[in-house]
Structure 1
Amino acid sequence: MACNIFLLVLACCCLSFSFTGAQPLVPAVFLFGDSLFDVGNNNFLISLAKADLPHHGIDFPTKKPTGRFSNGKHSADFIAEKVGLQTSPPPYLSLVFKKNKASLFMNGVNFASSAAGIFNETLPQLGDKIPLSKQVEYYATVYEELVKEFGSSAAQHRLSKSLFVLEFGTTDLASYALTPEPQIKYTRQQYRLYNYGARKFVLPGLGPVGCMPGQRVTSPTDDCNEESNHWAVKYNEELQLMLQELKSELHGFSYTYLDSYTVLQNIIQNPTPYGFTEVKAACCGLGRLNAMNLCLPISSYCSNRNEYVFWDMFHPSEATARIFVNTFFNSPSQYAFPISVRQLIAI
């Protein structure tokens, strides 16, 4: 679950790059997060938070569900494309029992897990997941494999030029919003990643999570849940303060914060320029706004999927994901700061 609708607007204003046969812009991309980034880790877990059934993946190249909560590709895939990787980094749990793991880790790994949160106790009712702390532990094993294979100096150099993308918070907000006084704090797992070679971080803020179909359906007039949006703004403020502190404390630490909230609000309030016609309802689901349940094999789904902002009650469509990544990659300062993702890569 998540609507931290991470790295995704303004495709028409962004240059399109083709990296076929070209050298990637970064050696590797390591992704941490929840269902916005999960490319199949939860398929290996006993969990209710899985996207392994139709109609997920209906627009994916294989036309089959892959574990992505999307009709096709999502943000993690478009990030990989944007930096010139030939394939999206694989789910970590698909690699753990394979031999020659160091070679499999070379271009990055995806640790994201649907329903995962910053806190280990977030949404326990959904079953197994990989929370942030465990994702960082898994990354530590990847680091050790790379050091064993290439030596400490070479591994450190490669990792210092790689991107580390952390997308968290929405699942925690959904969980803690059920309590009288929700408190969302971003823990400093960056310290541990930093100690294992990470230097370049991309961190999106939360989007207006109260405007997800799954939140709108709680209103008799289909309005956004402003209380949820309020907490999303508070979270974003705290995250930015923490990043500024880390920048002053850690030598070589560089980051890009992504203003997902403003970008998605722009789409919702003025969808036509982006090619969207539906901002409230989900493309796939059940009941009012297609938001009374997740996308299931018995669900109906829209035929004009590129015109829907949301694929299901919680997750963006492939079209939205593509727009977000394009926007943030070369973003002007009002959406990504203190520098754009492309500028971060160039450091």
Structure 2
Amino acid sequence: MDHGLGLLLSCFFIVFSSLFIFSEAQLAPALFMFGDSLVDVGNNNHLKLSLAKADFPHNGVDFPGKKPTGRFCNGKNAADFLAEKLGLPSAPPYLSLISKSNLSNASFVAGVSFASGGAGIFDGTDALYKQSLPLKKQVAYYATVYERLVQQLGSAGAQEHLSKSVFAVVIGSNDILGYYGSDSSTRNKTAPQQFVDSMAATLKEQLKGMYNLGARKFAMVGVGAVGCCPSQRNKKSTEECSEEANYWSVKYNERLKSLLQELISELKGMSYSYFDTYSVMLNLIQKPAAYGFKEVKAACCGLGNLNADFPCLPISTYCSNRKDHVFWDLYHPTEAAASIVVQNIFNGTQEYTFPMNLRQLVAA
């Protein structure tokens, strides 16, 4: 063999090998995130009218750089940990990308986040916060990204890329909390079972829309024990969880599981992992010491009783022992709690993940 050619082939092999090793560490080509403030990584920073913002202290006190980024958390949130598990960078907020004048289609290849604080499955659940991106809007934005990926990769290439990517959906809490709001007009017109059935039917249509735009692997995160967040405990003199809100969270999750099984039979090539957030969060609350927590009722950052009379604001006080707390503010978990939740999403047993965990989903 010609010495120069042999050297060239050796160099090619080394480069190819290093690329292969990199791709092995990366379990999925992309992560597309849909949801609410539990996974918002900064979209609401770009919504001028929104009151649901976290781009100010003390949010981000434990985030790299110790600056607020728009995450409703002291540090990384579930979206960040999901990306880490998949060997990907955190999916950037969609609204931050499209605000750039030099945006290229390649910016979307590793995924993007459409999640928005205050968002719900229904349009209008954000009325309290003036502005957010409800799920229908998030899916519409994804349709734009899909078109850009087709331009970048070609139709067949985009389909191949997206079929192996993860589509994570973390939404529904705001719909249930809004329904149980003291001034909820919906509650006077709609029975609880009818409401959760309608949530599921609306979600099903949006998931079908995502499927029609290439989505195949869905990481579906159920609604947590919303009745146990500090905002709901603070409404009770006993500071106990709202059993009614929790009951209908469970009912919605049951409906969500059944609709996912319906979709499997309707949509060829679709697969999913459903995560029982409710049970895992209840474990943290009922057996805190087993997970390294001490405080399960009060928020770390806020003002008033249980630090839940007001959100985490620059004038709020915040705890020095964030790892001891399950809740960062009146609604959202701490970085420590979010990390445990995602660990279970990724590696959980069938007690919490159905029909498989996220690690198994990406390998399927």
2:95 is paired with a residue whose SS is helix
- 5 Å matches for 1:294-333? 294-333=311-350
Do the aligned residues in 1 keep the contact of 2:74 with 2:328 (CA within 8 Å)? yes
- 5 Å matches for 1:84-123? 84-85=87-88, 87-98=89-100, 99-123=102-126
Do the aligned residues in 1 keep the contact of 2:219 with 2:358 (CA within 8 Å)? yes
> Which range is displaced more, 180-189 or 118-127?
180-189
Q: Deviations over 1:1-39 (max 9, x none)?
A: xxxxxxxxxxxxxxxxxx989631000000000000100
Q: How many residues align?
A: 328
In structure 2, stretches of 5+ residues that fail to align are: 1-20
Task: Please state which structure has a larger fraction of its residues in helix.
Answer: 2
Counterparts of 2:285 and 2:337, CA distance in 1 = 11
What's the CA shift for 1:123? 3.0
> Which residue in 2 is equivalent to 1:13?
none
What's the CA shift for 1:328? 1.7
Counterparts of 1:20 and 1:146, CA distance in 2 = 22
Q: Which has the higher contact order (CA 8 A, sep 6+)?
A: 1
Counterparts of 1:191 and 1:21, CA distance in 2 = 29
Task: State yes or no: 1:236 paired with 2:239.
Answer: no
Percent same amino acid among aligned pairs?
56
Q: Deviations over 1:258-281 (max 9, x none)?
A: 011111111111110110000000
What's the CA shift for 1:100? 4.2
> Which residue in 2 is equivalent to 1:191?
208
Give the alignment's TM-score, normalised by structure 2: 0.88
2:298 is paired with a residue whose SS is strand
Task: State yes or no: 1:259 paired with 2:276.
Answer: yes
Matching residue within 195, 214, 217 for 2:231 = 214
> Which residue in 2 is equivalent to 1:9?
none
Counterparts of 1:100 and 1:122, CA distance in 2 = 31
1:281 is paired with a residue whose SS is coil
Do the aligned residues in 2 keep the contact of 1:95 with 1:101 (CA within 8 Å)? no
In structure 1, stretches of 5+ residues that fail to align are: 1-18
1:32 is paired with a residue whose SS is strand
Do the aligned residues in 2 keep the contact of 1:211 with 1:223 (CA within 8 Å)? yes
Do the aligned residues in 1 keep the contact of 2:38 with 2:332 (CA within 8 Å)? yes
Give the alignment's TM-score, normalised by structure 1: 0.92
Matching residue within 125, 129, 147 for 2:132 = 129
- 5 Å matches for 1:276-295? 276-295=293-312
Q: Deviations over 1:88-132 (max 9, x none)?
A: 010000111433432110110000000011111113131111000
> Which residue in 2 is equivalent to 1:4?
none
The letter for the 2-side match of 1:60 is F
Task: State yes or no: 1:80 paired with 2:97.
Answer: no
1:282 is paired with a residue whose SS is coil
Runs of 4+ with deviation above 4 angstroms: 19-22
Output the aligned Cα RMSD: 1.3
